[in-house]
């Protein structure tokens, strides 16, 4: 009897621990959870991801392939309880960063995950460096957990295919052509003979990143991963092209510097010439002003009387004769 009682008590303790205490769980702050019962996730009625805004960017053909049921998401907190036939899938929803050259299936691909290769429109094999930021889409956890085997592999393949397509068909935005008499063309014009300018690709990195963000906005509806941002930070052309670009940019910078110095010297000379003209004009005005004043005085004397001007001239002559040491008079032969 004692043995039977001990067996029953042991079974009860084991049952409580195995199916009650062990059934308690919690969800961390940066996690979300999905519960399955006999392998089937708890769903929100008959709702699908097509009824959510994340599927707005899908085409009609894609909507038929990427229609996933909406599952009940367990938020952070707890403790929660599950039965033995239920299973909990926990997923971190924190934003993560990955080198865009990383291949999740092969660590040695893409130069050991450091550089991604892409071919430009003019058949130049360029190396791309950068990162992507992503997180799990809470509104499509079914696709992330059960839709595909390794969602990040699909997302990286999707991202890289779009990026390579963009580089292969990239054309620089139209800009105003330089004036015909322009003394110096831009480095982009100097490299136009190479086809697609590497300088243009580097100059438009922000536009390329924005294009990638727009094109990858449907990744949440496809694979349950949100691509928050693509950060392409470097474009490295082949060594021979890089050296040519460096030489062109160096020559362009040197000529630009020389032209700037010449323009500065010309501007300085123009300013100095204007100053010299102003000074000479003021000197001429200073010399003319007394003559004008004397002319006005003589005019006033002439208007006062017929002999006033002659008397003034005689007095001036007498003053000059008084201060002169020698006087030469013209002889009258009559």
Confidence at residue 147, expressed as pLDDT on a 0 to 100 scale: 87
Nearest CA-CA partner of 163 in 81, 113, 230, 109: 230
CA atoms of 108 and 85, how far apart (whole Å): 41
Q: Evaluate if residue 178 carries a pLDDT over 60.
A: no
pLDDT tens track for 79-120:
888 888 889 999 999 999 988 888 888 888 888 888 888 888
Q: Evaluate if residue 177 carries a pLDDT over 50.
A: no
Same domain, 266 and 233: no
Report in angstroms the alpha-carbon separations of 83 from 37, 43, 77, 86.
Answer: 9, 17, 18, 5
Query: What is the full DSSP assignment across 159-212?
Result: HHHHHHHHHHT--PPP-PPPPTT-S---HHHHTGGGSS-HHHHHHTHHHHHHHH
Same domain, 110 and 233: yes
Tokens of 44: 């929100």
* Count of structural domains, the chain: 2
3-state secondary structure of 243: helix
Instruction: Give pTM, 2 decimals.
Output: 0.61
Report the CATH number that the domain containing residue 121 is assigned in CATH: 3.30.479.30
Element (H, E) at 98: strand 96-99
* CB neighbour list of residue 102: distance below 8 Å, 6 or more residues apart: 110, 113, 156
Phi-psi region of 291 (alpha: psi -120 to 50; beta: other; left: phi over 0): alpha
Same domain, 119 and 150: yes
Instruction: Evaluate whether residue 160 is within a structural domain.
Output: yes
Q: Are 135 and 228 in contact (CB under 8 A)?
A: yes
State which residues form the domain around 278.
253-321
CA atoms of 204 and 224, how far apart (whole Å): 29
Same domain, 295 and 229: no
* CB neighbour list of residue 135: distance below 8 Å, 6 or more residues apart: 93, 94, 95, 96, 225, 226, 228
pLDDT tens track for 254-285:
777 878 888 888 888 888 888 888 888 888 88
CA atoms of 81 and 19, how far apart (whole Å): 10
Same domain, 213 and 306: no
Q: Are 44 and 70 in contact (CB under 8 A)?
A: yes
Same domain, 167 and 210: yes
3-state secondary structure of 134: strand
* CB neighbour list of residue 158: distance below 8 Å, 6 or more residues apart: 216, 219, 222, 223
Same domain, 203 and 303: no
**Angle 205-215/151-168 helices, nearest 10 degrees?**
130
Instruction: Evaluate whether residue 204 is within a structural domain.
Output: yes
Same domain, 200 and 143: yes
Report in angstroms the alpha-carbon separations of 247 from 75, 77, 108, 187, 254.
Answer: 58, 61, 34, 10, 10
Same domain, 131 and 258: no
Highest mean pLDDT among 29-33, 179-183, 324-328: 29-33
């Amino acid at each position: 009897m004692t043995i039977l009682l001990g067996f029953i008590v042991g079974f009860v303790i084991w049952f409580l621990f195995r199916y009650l205490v062990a059934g308690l769980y919690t969800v961390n702050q940066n996690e979300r959870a999905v519960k399955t019962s006999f392998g089937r996730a708890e769903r929100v009625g008959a709702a699908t991801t097509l009824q959510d805004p994340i599927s707005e960017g899908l085409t009609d053909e894609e909507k038929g392939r990427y229609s996933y049921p909406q599952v009940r998401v367990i938020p952070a907190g707890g403790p929660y309880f599950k039965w033995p036939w239920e299973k909990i899938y926990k997923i971190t929803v924190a934003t993560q960063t990955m080198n865009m050259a990383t291949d999740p299936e092969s660590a040695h691909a893409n130069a050991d995950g450091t550089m991604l290769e892409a071919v430009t429109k003019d058949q130049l094999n360029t190396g791309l460096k950068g990162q992507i930021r992503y997180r799990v889409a809470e509104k499509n956890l079914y696709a992330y957990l059960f839709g595909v085997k390794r969602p990040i592999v699909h997302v990286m393949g999707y991202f890289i295919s779009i990026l390579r397509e963009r580089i292969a068909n990239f054309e620089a935005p139209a800009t105003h052509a330089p004036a015909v008499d322009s003394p110096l063309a831009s480095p982009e014009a100097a490299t136009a003979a190479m086809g697609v300018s590497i300088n243009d690709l580097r100059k438009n990195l922000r536009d390329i990143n924005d294009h990638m963000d727009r094109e990858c906005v449907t990744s949440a509806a496809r694979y349950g991963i949100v691509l928050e941002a693509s950060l392409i930070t470097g474009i490295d052309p082949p060594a021979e092209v890089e050296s040519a670009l460096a030489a062109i940019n160096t020559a362009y910078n040197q000529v630009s510097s020389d032209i700037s110095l010449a323009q500065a010297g010309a501007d300085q000379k123009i300013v100095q010439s204007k100053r010299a003209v102003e000074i000479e004009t003021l000197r001429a005005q200073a010399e003319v002003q007394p003559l004008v004043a004397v002319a006005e005085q003589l005019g006033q004397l002439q208007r006062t009387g017929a002999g006033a001007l002659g008397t003034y001239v005689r007095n001036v002559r007498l003053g000059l004769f008084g201060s002169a040491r020698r006087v030469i008079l013209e002889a009258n032969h009559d």
